Amino acid sequence: MVLVYSDNKKLTFELLSKGSELSKDLGKKSTAVIIGKSDDTLANEYIAYGADNVFVAETVVDSFKAEEYAEILEKIVKETGTEIILIGSNKNGKELASRLAGKLDVGCIIGCTNIYLKDKKLTAERVVYSGNAIAVEQFNSKPGILTVSSKVFDPLKKDDKRKGDIVKKKIETEKSSSKVLKVQEAKTEGVNVEDAEIIVSCGRGFKSKEDIKLADELADVLKGKTIGCSRPIAADLKWMSEDHWIGLSGHKVKPKLYIATGISGQIQHIAGIRDSGVIVAINKDADALIFKSADYGIVGDLYEVLPKLTAAIKDKMG
Amino acid sequence: MNIIVCAKQVVDASEIKIDSSTNKPILEGISKKISDIDKNAMEEAIKIKDKHGGKITVVTVGSADAKERIKELLAMGADEGILIPYPDKYDYHVVSTLLAEAIKKIGEYDIVLCGEASTDLFSGQIGPKVAGLLNIPQITYAQSVDAEKDNVVAERNMGEKSVTTESSYPVLITVTKEINEPRLPSLMEILGAANKPINDWSADSLAGGLEPKIETIDLKGVSMERKNIVYKDSLDESIGKLVDNLAKEGVLG
Ligand SMILES: Cc1cc2nc3c(=O)[nH]c(=O)nc-3n(C[C@H](O)[C@H](O)[C@H](O)COP(=O)(O)OP(=O)(O)OC[C@H]3O[C@@H](n4cnc5c(N)ncnc54)[C@H](O)[C@@H]3O)c2cc1C
Ligand SMILES: Nc1ncnc2c1ncn2[C@@H]1O[C@H](COP(=O)(O)O)[C@@H](O)[C@H]1O
């Protein structure tokens, strides 16, 4: 059986598409897991998106905690004789999958970009060495756990005529000795850098949060309106929300034009922009690494370059 | 407070070139270092020790030359190092089992610290997997840690939210790059580290008959070719040329 779980509904749809393909190849069934309150609407949606069955683990656990969720999944896996476990590769999913792998003592591959059977063995590809290579990994034991990020697989077309069973079961867990004291929603700006066609990206070369408007103005004339940033801008300085963050630990982007301003071009940033069409770099340091990863570069102070570039592009585009 | 830091030796990914004839990354002959965020884990361990006293042990599963890297962590402030040489065949399962067994052998511990992810493989798997093997609570992506006598409170960076979590001991914590600024040891500290012990623990002595569950069957290089045209003329001229070229490429608007 192929088990599919994510706390993100859209991501679960995407996993179900791969899950049903793998389960067909194996001649087995795919099962989507819901943890928490029973939700028939959601369960039926999962079936419409390709799940053969839905397993609802009814628990008193009120919010996500890796320790407790891993225990729940462990019980389900053991009870159902699961061979493949697909988990959404967001932050919750990664720590859940890894902990589950420890508890079940099985192999786990994080962040798969492709999954298939090769010589009847479960095989997956993932990006390693900051984007310099793709490793092809093969399981030689069962079950196997794999995590997949959003947008790696396309969901199946929703089909409300698909049929499936919904199994509900109460599952008790041991209370973890860790406790969530506070959850603070950071405001996101609803930016979607992953689908953006043109991105102007800001790094630590900017001296203050207000100055980002220089990049905004350029993005505006480019009709891109999408601003990205390096990790320090989002994670250290918190000048921008996490949805702008591009790189190995942030979002992977593939715009037709990527303009990196005041970004040094460390490999972890480059890992997020390798699939871009044209890369432009603006940096005052002629030796900055970013120029090695750029198609076009201007050596100069961004405070001088950006306004001029904005004006020149405005002129050109009429 | 007994603190264990799991630190990995990695190749510096920024030095990797792709062999154009085989299309494989060249991993030999490039510099090795302690995975960046493991130094943040080390720094956090020192801060906790400064507050409560105790002992810091660094554990590495790695090749023999990792000893030199462990010395850097001893210079920063670790008290003792343990090097478990990689078995002939290893994967995440083998490494995490060895780390968990080593931690059990150390015995008395309050906090195990890991990086949020290693810079070469970037899975973020080892921390939570070891916590699962040891069946202890885990706190991932900690961007601040406040260790008190009987419990620890950490703020976790979960992207669109920040989650404050409390746990009793023992606990496994993975830290982010933002949690602190790792110190650079002084010359005296570097010299002093030479007298600190690094123990060799064999894989066999910790867990016999370990077999990988996953095998890497291929490693394909991904090269990125770029034009690398850098304008160094007067700014107005440079911008003129750039805009012309972008228009030609058809990427404006
Ligand atoms: C495991 C791991 C994961 C990571 N993940 C990511 C990630 O996902 N994304 C990411 O971005 N980073 C990531 N990093 C961090 C990365 O290594 C770099 O530290 C980071 O990208 C640097 O950000 P920066 O270029 O904005 O800042 P800096 O490196 O400080 O560079 C600032 C640049 O601005 C230039 N500059 C300064 N003033 C001006 C001016 N007036 N005009 C023009 N140029 C100017 C400087 O010459 C310099 O090149 C990660 C690191 C690790 C270890
Ligand atoms: N071989 C190793 N030896 C010691 N610690 C390791 C090893 N591999 C990974 N770790 C720890 O686990 C963290 C996450 O690694 P990874 O799962 O590879 O992303 C690292 O930051 C280290 O703290």
Which residues of chain A, if any, have pLDDT below 70?
Answer: none
| B216 vs A94, A136, A257: nearest CB | A136
Q: What is the pLDDT of residue B159?
A: 87
B97: confidence class by pLDDT, cuts 50, 70, 90: very high
Q: In Å, how far is A103's CA from the nearest CA of chain B?
A: 5
Interatomic CA distance for residues A161 and B92, integer angstroms: 42
pLDDT in the model for residue A174: 85
Mean pLDDT of chain B: 96
Q: Looking at the CA of residue B121, tell me the nearest atom of ligand 2.
A: 18
The CATH number corresponding to B2-207 among 3.40.50.720, 3.40.50.620, 1.10.10.350, 3.60.150.10 equals 3.40.50.620
Contact status, residue A110 vs residue B140, Cβ threshold 8 Å: no
Residue that is written with structure tokens 């009814």 in the block: A58
Ligand nearest to the CA of B123: 2
The verdict on the CB of residue B36 being under 6 Å from ligand 1 is yes
Domain boundaries, chain B: 2-207, 223-253
CA dihedral A49, A51, A55, A58 (to 10 degrees): -10
Instruction: Report the share of chain B in percent with pLDDT over 90.
Output: 96
Which residues of A are less than 8 Å from B225 in CB distance?
Answer: none
Preceding peptide of A143 cis, ω within 30°: yes
Among B171, B177, B226, select the one facing A293 at the smallest CB separation: B226
Q: What is the pLDDT of residue B160?
A: 84
Pocket-testing residue among A91, A110, A284, A299, ligand 1, by greatest number of atoms within 8 A of Cβ: A284
pLDDT digits (tens, 9 = 90+) for B3-45: 999 999 999 999 999 999 999 999 999 999 999 999 999 999 9
Residue B241 has pLDDT above 80, yes or no: yes
Residue B226 has pLDDT above 90, yes or no: yes
Prediction pTM value = 0.96
- Work out whether the CA dihedral B185, B46, B3, B211 comes out positive or negative: negative
Phi, psi (5° rounding) for residue B199? Answer: -95, 145
- Can you read off the two tokens belonging to residue B135? 């069946």
Instruction: Assign residue B49 a region (left: φ > 0; alpha: ψ between -120 and 50; beta: otherwise).
Output: alpha
Interface of B with A in 202-241 (CB under 8 A): 212-222, 224, 226-232, 235-236, 238-240
Ligand 2 centroid from CA B173, angstroms: 12
Of B11, B161, B213, the CB nearest to A183: B161
Tell whether the model's pLDDT for residue B57 goes beyond 90.
Answer: yes
Torsion B40-B172-B116-B65 (CA) sign: positive
Residue-level pLDDT at B208: 87
Best of A269, A282, A289, A291 for a ligand 1 pocket test (most atoms within 8 Å of beta carbon): A269
Q: What are the backbone dihedrals phi and psi of residue A282, each rounded to the nearest 5 degrees, phi first? A: -120, 120
Q: What is the mean pLDDT of residues B72-76?
A: 98
In DSSP notation, A271-313 reads TTTTT-SEEEEEES-TT-GGGGG-SEEEES-HHHHHHHHHHHH
pLDDT at B61: 98
Please tell me the predicted confidence (pLDDT) of residue A60. Answer: 83
CA distance A110 to B99: 19
Task: Give the ligand with the smallest distance to the CA of A108.
Answer: 2
Q: What's the pLDDT at A38?
A: 87
Comparing CA positions, the residue from A133, A277, A295 lying closest to residue B17 is A133
Exposure string (b/e) for A265-300, b if CB count within 10 Å is 16 or more?
A: bbbbbbbbbbebebbbbbbeeeebbbbebbbbbbbb
**Are A199 and A288 within 8 A, CB to CB?**
no
Range B153-159 average pLDDT:
95
Distance CA A270, CA A268 (A): 5
| Among candidate residues A156, A125, A218, A198, the one with its CA nearest the CA of residue A4 | A156
Residues of chain B above pLDDT 70, percent: 100
What is the set of domains in chain A, with CATH numbers? 2-170 (3.40.50.620), 193-316 (3.40.50.1220)
